[in-house]
Structure formats: C-alpha cells, structure tokens
Amino acid sequence: MASFHKSLGYYISKSAYSWLLLKQMGNEILPTNVKIASVRRGFDQACPRCGTEFETHLHALKDCLTSRATHMIGSLEGNLISKEYDRGINWGKEEEAKVIWERARMLSKEFRIHNLLKVTGYGVIVRDHDGFILGRGGGFKDVQLSVEEAECYAFDESIKLACRLNIKGDMIFESDIAGLVNKINGQQRDLTIIGARIKGNVKALDNFKSTICVWTSRNCNSVADFICKKMCADACNWFFDMDYLTDIDNVVICDTIESTLL
C-alpha cells in the first residue's frame, strides 16, 4: 500500500492489486517488440525509439525517454514511474519502520501509565420531561474497572440518585452505551456476571411508577464530562440538585442550551 500526501492534507491510498492488474493487462495488451517476437520468429526485439536491445512493457513505461515524456504530457506523474516518492511513505524502509515502532511503543506506555491510576469516575444527570436539570451527581472508584463493570456501576448510581431526589413517577434511563441498554432490556436471557448484577439493580426500579431504558446520543453532555474529570482529579463523591456550585454553573447553563437544541 502506498500513501501520497497532497498539499491540502488529503491522503490517497492506491492498492497494490490495481497496479498488479495493470501489469497483467500490460503483458497481454501492450504490443511491445518482445511480445511480438514471442509469436513471430525473427522479429526485432529492440526498442524502435531509443534503440535498447529489448523493448519490454516495463521498458516502454519506465526506461524509454520518449515514452516517459509522452506519459508526463498525459498527466501520468513521473514519480510513479521513477519511484521517487519525495512526498510519500515507503513502508519498506527499515529506518522508517523503526520510527513507527517507537511511536507505537511510546503510545503503549502512555496508556499503561493512565491505567495504573486505577481510578474510575462517573457522572449522572437527572432531567424532567422538558429537559430541565433536576440534579446531578458523580463519584469515583479507587479501583480499575472493566468497561462493563463501569457501565453497570454508573447505572446503579443513576438509580440511587433518582431515589435520592424522591422521584416516584415515570422514569426513562438513557445511556449512550448500546451494550448496557441491551443487557438491561434482555436481563431474562443474560447469564453473565454483569447480567446478574444488573438484575440486582433492576429490583430497585420498583420504586418508580414505570421505567424504561433506551439508547440515546449525548455527545454534547459537557457537564457529565466535567463531573467525571473532577471526580477523578479531586478523588471525591459529589451530589447536588438545582443549587449548583459556582465552578459548574456556567457548564450547566451551556449544557442546558445544548440539550434544548438536540
């Protein structure tokens, strides 16, 4: 695979299979003197343009000066013929391969350092049917959790927050994690450890008049992201209703506007 970098920053990938197909077609179609001599005895195999002893299709495309000039006029880039990729990436070079490996190794170290923190933060938001924020909460777990464990823990905390706000009516639990939604809705068929834990959490849903769990996109939920980061940074648990703290007031206003526009 060869990648060529254009001045505007776009990348074009050209498959080696396409070039191989072109080469095969050239072998069959291009009427080079070598090809003609293979079926016509005594035919001169030399190139009639530059006098080279053998006119193969590679010579016609690459080595013959007259053909090269013709291809350049026809907008066939010369670097494709001469293999001078001054703006490309040659993945076969050992030195560049080492650079790529070093970058990947350093990136792996960064992820490992991040995981060694062993802190998982969460944020929960409660809204009414008009999208108005009734309360929010967050916290952290001083332990490294898997993705499914973190999802389940956040769902459990959202139930506790709704109960703490003394909500007894109809509840809609929203999550942008499709796997969590599927596990909650299909709890009768889920026999995994996480599924068993969700069944225990679902029992608390009896405190509400009705409940449903749906998937929703919350890409603009800036407050939840702010809470998660703050919980991990301060290593604390946090709960507040409509009396927002000063450092979160502006974020709540922006988040309310974004939710209204969705």
224-238, pLDDT tens digit by residue?
A: 667 767 766 666 666
**Strand 120-127 to 88-89 pairing:** unpaired
pLDDT of 44 > 70? The answer is yes
- Alpha-carbon torsion (94, 100, 104, 106), positive or negative: positive
pLDDT per position as a tens digit, 5-24: 444 444 444 444 444 444 44
**Contact of 150 with 189, CB cutoff 8 Å:** no
Residue 62 identity: K
Neighbours of 157 (CB within 10 A): 19
Confidence of residue 196 (pLDDT cuts 50, 70, 90): low
Question: So what's the pLDDT on residue 79?
Answer: 56
Confidence of residue 91 (pLDDT cuts 50, 70, 90): very low
Confidence of residue 210 (pLDDT cuts 50, 70, 90): confident
Domain borders along the chain are: 2-85, 120-261
| 47-51, 57-61, 91-95, 143-147, range with the lowest pLDDT | 91-95
Q: Which CATH superfamily is domain 120-261 in?
A: Ribonuclease H-like superfamily/Ribonuclease H (3.30.420.10)
Distance CA 93, CA 116 (A): 35
User: What b/e string do you get for 197-234 counting C-beta neighbours within 10 Å, with b at 16 or more?
Assistant: bbeebeeebeebeebebeeeebeebebbebbbebbbee
* Higher pLDDT pick, 87 / 137: 137
Q: What residues have CB less than 8 Å from 221, skipping those under 6 apart? A: 125, 255, 258, 259
Helix (H) or strand (E) holding 134: strand 133-141
Assigned token pair, 106:
């350093």
